[in-house]
Amino acid sequence: MAEKQTAGRDRLGKLAPKFAELNDDVLFGEVWSREDKLSARDRSMITIAALFSAGLYPQLKSHLELGKKHGITKEEAVEIVTQLAFYCGWPKAWSTFPLIEEIYGE
């Protein structure tokens, strides 16, 4: 059983309570929990790719951390970014590698 997500309520509960509820209960509570359809590890890889392609680095950092918890290795994270660099942008890779070092260590 996955850990209950509270980031929405923790960060946005007062400002945007409905958004926080949807984030925690629907996105993470219902969608991410469907591991019989797609593993959390695979969902992390897909989410990392989507956030990387959009250049959303604060969320990307959070999902790299989550991906690590879901079993994505440092070498796999580097390979994901290397692959995506050709499709989504070289500068985005340069911006993401320091996040990987921060999360996984040098």
**Residue pLDDT, tens place only, 29-74:** 999 999 999 999 999 999 999 999 999 999 999 999 999 999 999 9
Q: Where are the chain's structural domains?
A: 34-104
CATH code: domain 34-104 is 1.20.1290.10
User: What does the pLDDT read at residue 40?
Assistant: 96
Q: How many CB atoms lie within 10 A of CB 92?
A: 19
Residue closest to 50 by CA, chosen among 39, 36, 64, 37 = 64
Alpha carbon of 78 to those of 8, 70, 84, 98: distances in Å? 28, 16, 10, 10
Q: Is the pTM above the cut of 0.75?
A: yes
Q: Which long-range contacts (CB under 8 A, 24 or more apart) does 2-11 make?
A: 2/28, 2/32, 2/33, 2/35, 2/40, 4/29, 5/29, 5/32, 7/62
Query: How does the average pLDDT of the chain come out, rounded?
Result: 95
Q: Please tell me the total number of residues recorded for the chain in this structure.
A: 106
